[in-house]
Amino acid sequence: MERMKHSPQLRDRRVQRLLEERLPQRILLYVFALFLLSLGVVFNVNADLGISPIGVVPFVLSLIAGLSMGTFTFMVFAVLVLLQILILRRDFRWIQLSQIVFAVFSGYFVDFSRFLLGDFRFPTYFGQLLTLSIGMVLIASGIALHMRARIVNLPPAALILAISTKTPRLKFHQVKILLDSFLVLLAIALSFSMLGGLYGVREGTVIAALLIGRMLPHVYRLWFPMLKKIGLETEDAKSF
């Protein structure tokens, strides 16, 4: 009888009911997470140490083709959704196509964050590294919290989740590091082959590719008490 009480089916139903009851909190958490993520992106840009891993490929493609970075960001996100479909196949839920809509929505948060911060960064090279570090912590926080809101993941996070689901040996933060590293290498290859030099990639790009994924479990633990307090996590919740 005790075993039935804690069966996976009953646990899943309790989680689903809890998510439905906490919908307002989840929406607020999602909006807050997108704001943190956008602040992190702007801090990284202001650090002037290279474009972040997820933005560096659209940046290089925009230089090659002469179109806006936003256009290529949309195209890259669309490719990430297509990869999810290929990886998950029947497990892909078509509601996840709304990822692209939410990705466009997050662009407005970036513009707002840019308005708030302007060109702010700490002076000296050490200050640039400090600005970059703040950006990485904010990006990691945004990724962790928007996923825990359980609404719609942004395309990069959704692809990482799809890969980690199909390859249980790899944890989410490990796949994050692999994806970021691949995007940086792709940007370097495109930059040298099509532009004849290195554009968009600097030490900050490499640092972000290697460290943001590693930060996720630690950042999640920092936010865990808040998530538990608003009823969106339990003691047995899994980390990244």
pLDDT above 80 (res 4): no
Share the mean pLDDT of the chain: 85
Q: Check: pTM over 0.85? Answer yes or no.
A: no
Q: Are 133 and 177 spatial neighbours (Cβ–Cβ below 8 Å)?
A: no
Q: What mean pLDDT is predicted for residues 75-95?
A: 89
Q: Residue 171: exposed, middle, or buried by beta-carbon count in 10 A (0-12, 13-18, 19+)? A: middle
Q: Does position 129 have pLDDT exceeding 70, yes or no?
A: yes
Q: Kindly indicate the confidence band of residue 3, based on its pLDDT and cuts at 50, 70 and 90.
A: very low
Name the maximum alpha-carbon separation found in the chain.
69
Q: Model confidence over 211-228: pLDDT tens digits?
A: 998 999 999 999 988 888
Q: Is 170 exposed, middle or buried (0-12, 13-18, 19+ CB in 10 A)?
A: middle
Angle between helices 172-190 and 155-166 (to 10 degrees): 120
Q: Is 45's pLDDT higher than 70?
A: yes
Please give the DSSP secondary-structure letter assigned to residue 200. S
Which comes out higher in pLDDT, residue 45 or 211?
211
The confidence band for 237, taking pLDDT boundaries of 50, 70 and 90, is low
Q: Domain extents for the chain?
A: 31-229
**pLDDT > 90? residue 90:** no
The whole-number pLDDT of residue 14 equals 57
pLDDT at 52 over 70: yes
Any residues with CB less than 8 A from the CB of 153 and at least 6 apart, and which? Answer: 96, 99, 146, 147, 161
Block residue for tokens 């495109």: 190
Higher pLDDT, 188 or 25: 188
